[in-house]
Amino acid sequence: MTVRPGVTWEPYTPSGFSQALASGRPTVALFSASWCPHCRDLKSGALTDARVMEAMLPLNRISFDMSSSTPESEANSARFGVNGYPTILFFDAKGQEIRALRVVGSRSSEDLLETLDRLKQMTRSR
């Protein structure tokens, strides 16, 4: 998924996700589905806000396409405890999820910016 030039979300692959988590940089994972109206709202709203895009530039960005129920999508939902869409997970530079930052449902740009600021503060102190 490309939001604007320079801000892309890599489609999930097991090796790509593992590499992102092992990169030493924080990672954000977006679980969304094409049929989900809240996902479309998030993608056309907050995720296209220039401030949000700028704040996400230093992060690895992985997009999990949950549009179809497949063994892989079901396994990823179970692995990460994702029960609804959109869900955004944040991982620190060591690849550990910061559960306190998990976002479920559509959010405003301001909400996402606040969460991204908290991520920045938390990953500095780890």
Closest CA to 61 of 11, 120, 115, 114: 11
Digit-coded pLDDT (tens) for 9-44: 999 999 999 999 999 999 999 999 999 999 999 998
Query: pLDDT value at position 124?
Result: 78
Domain containing 66: what range? 2-124
Q: Which residues pair with 44 in a beta bridge?
A: none
Query: pLDDT value at position 108?
Result: 94
Pairing of strands 60-65, 27-32: parallel
Prediction pTM value: 0.91
* 33: CATH: 3.40.30.10
Q: How many domains does the chain have?
A: 1
> What 3-state class would DSSP assign to 90?
strand
